[in-house]
A and B are shown apart, each in its own frame.
Chain A
Amino acid sequence: MQSQAQYVLRTVEERGVRFVQLWFTDVLGRHKAFHVTPAELEDALDQGMTFDGSAIDGFSRVQESDVLARPDLTTFQLLPWYEEGAGVARVFCDIVNIDGTPFEGCPRQRLRRVLDTSRQQGYTFFVAPEIEFFYFQGLDVTENPQPIDRGSYFDLLPDDTGSQLRRRTVLTLEEMGIGVEHAQHEDAPGQHEIDLRYTDALTMADTVMSVRHVVKELARQAGVTASFMPKPLAHVQGSGLHTHLSLWRDDKNAFIGEGTYGLSDVASKFIAGLIAHAPEITAITNQWVNSYKRLIPGAEAPVAATWARFDSAALVRVPTLKPGRIDSTRLEYRAPDPAANPYLAFAVILAAGLRGVTGDYQLPKEGQGGVGLPQSLGEAVDLMESSSLLHETLGSHLVEWFLRNKRSEWDAYRGQVTPFELERYLPLL
């Protein structure tokens, strides 16, 4: 610990860092930061930064509102897009109460707790998400957003802004030590995808926050808007966060076995857990009104809790392995969208899967049946409220705040009169 602090302070001095951003995340996955100068850094590293938590969504409590942001020094990293000599670095923070206990509304520590539980059972959890997003022309996109290209799936376009941006983003991520497996043009115009190399779930949740920031920042520098909105355009597919999962035990992939598609008993039960609990965790993995416009039939997105090897509308897919790559045996959970809070999303996905393992759940037949996923935020929130799994995994403070916040979002939305209704009903009725 001591030498880590020394490393950070010394690097700040050696590299001429002018600001250190202390990053943290609110309950909805919004990226927050303090900016401290090197002079204040030592104190911040030592004691953390005090702030009024009630200013942050999901952090408010009636009696006590002061909380501490405590830097996790292992995450200290220079941000490569700032100039040498006027550098900016970042470090992720955990939010703790003044007495040092974990703050209940801190998503990062929620995930930590779930990972601790799984470690007690002997498992480490690895994730590798595919992050989809759109590039739109210009910086103001609230009205009539125009994608920056007309490309489609895997298209190799002449060196346009989108490809250049995507390439620069991947190089920047690599400089930050974020491994990118590949990046490509996605199905819809202006839609791109970046696939990350697996890491442990906590590192990956941090990484998703970093990637969203880097994608948006580099786009902004090029006069383009990047958006992780789940379904920004009505008639093309939306953006998902397909998440590849594997469990390891004693440095062996616990999903490898003798069952169907080379899966182990643990893997079958994990899938069964995901399928059984999918409807109730969807409020977390798909947390916006807009998320449910992506989860519709015929849009390459899951609508029911099913599993399969090939069907791209299945909720859980068992990817085919490259020859000799048995260690990459994994599952793909296809519901989440990139506007989710990655800490909470990974936490509930792991909790659902593990519940299947500990509870000896039976795997249903491939491609069959499956309960429908919630079709709206309102429905998802109702399912969440009655879920004991979510209360146990996320804690009642977080669940209650989340329910309140999402009910009011749903109510605000329900009162809207949409162009769809006007066009259809006004002349007729």
Chain B
Amino acid sequence: MSIDVVLCVPSCEGPVRKAFEVTGVTPAVATSGRLNEITALEPSDGFAGAVINAAAIPFNDAMNLCRQLRARERGVGPVILLLDHYQLDELTFREDLFDDFVVGPFDVSELATRLRHRLRRAGNESVAPRLEHGELSMNLETYQASIAGRVMDLTFMEYELLRFLATNPNRVFTRATLLSRVWGYEYYGGARTVDVHVRRLRAKLGEEYAHLIQTVRSVGYKFGVSADYTEGA
């Protein structure tokens, strides 16, 4: 059995080095945190995990790196962030970018314990909540929706409408229901607003996928993949 290689950005010194030794994993140090450098260091069976010291490089770079690692086709295992105490606030809404974190000053046994724990659990790691429906994919944590691999530029209400419909596939909703469930407040267009947003969503889905949102004559709309739909009024 090969020894686990754990990616380490931007350095592996002091308590971090010790924790690696205690855990029995080999660090692969990428000083720049650039993807090229990381790929060059990657063993043939991939990284077992990654430790990123966000206190040692600009915080946004650390977050971008996490995001890039996550976006890669080949995962890097659990991502553990090392942080300064004052950076804790910055983690809000970025919870999906890492699996665990340790706040400095770093304690060798804490670091080692978390490393071991995370590496063991790596087999059944949790993933960001996703909504998949044929070619439509919505990441509910990052608010990004894509169709056939193409990211869609949605406004907030378009996103919310699509999410609501796609969460309840093949159920027919009246305009009034959609308005109260998705918008939840009075809006200038009244129920016609729903039609306007459906049109915009269909435009953004593109001709090929516009039929995902179907008009149900004199009732409302539903999300579905069956072929018998009618064009919007």
Contact = CB atoms under 8 A, between A and B. Distances in A.
A33 B188 CA distance: 25
A8 B93 CA distance: 12
Contact of B192 (A6, A77, A179, A200): A200
A174 B201 CA distance: 10
B149 interface: no
A387 interface: no
B31 interface: no
Contacts of A4: 156
A248 interface: yes
Given A177-B200, A327-B233, A7 B156 contact: yes
Nearest to B204: A177
Contacts of B175: 251
Interface residues of A, number: 38
A73 B156 contact: yes
B225 to A, nearest CB: 22
A74 B190 contact: no
Contact of B153 (A8, A77, A200): A77
> Which of B63, B67, B143, B233 has the most chain A CB atoms inside 10 A of its CB?
B143
Contacts of B93: 6, 9-10
A177 B151 contact: no
The dominant DSSP class at the A interface is helix
A179 B153 contact: no
B203 A251 contact: no
Nearest to A123: B190
A175 B205 CA distance: 9
Given A10-B142, A177-B158, A177-B204, A124 B190 contact: yes
A175 B143 contact: no
B163 to A, nearest CB: 11
Nearest to B158: A177
A78 B156 contact: no
B189 A126 contact: yes
A250 B157 CA distance: 22
A417 B233 CA distance: 54
Contacts of B157: 74
Given A124-B192, A179-B200, A14 B159 contact: no
A236 to B, nearest CB: 33
A14 B143 contact: yes
A168 interface: no
A248 B200 contact: no
Interface in B161-196: 175, 186-193, 196
B114 interface: no
Contacts of B144: 11, 14-15
B204 A175 contact: yes
Nearest to A125: B188
Contacts of B2: none
Interface in A174-189: 174-179
A258 to B, nearest CB: 22
Interface in A11-69: 11, 13-15
A248 B190 CA distance: 9
Contacts of A197: 196, 199
A13 B60 CA distance: 10
Interface in B103-156: 142-144, 151, 153-156
A159 B150 CA distance: 28
Nearest to A200: B189
Interface string B44-72: 00000000000000000001000100000
A46 to B, nearest CB: 14
A387 B189 CA distance: 29
B199 A203 contact: no
A7 to B, nearest CB: 5
Closest 6 CB pairs of A and B: A177-B200, A200-B189, A78-B153, A200-B188, A124-B190, A174-B203
Interface of A: 3-4, 6-11, 13-15, 73-78, 80, 115, 119, 124, 126, 174-179, 197-203, 248, 251, 327
Interface of B: 63, 67, 93, 142-144, 151, 153-159, 175, 186-193, 196, 199-201, 203-204, 233
12 contacts: A6-B143, A10-B143, A13-B63, A13-B67, A14-B142, A175-B204, A177-B158, A177-B200, A179-B200, A199-B196, A203-B188, A248-B192
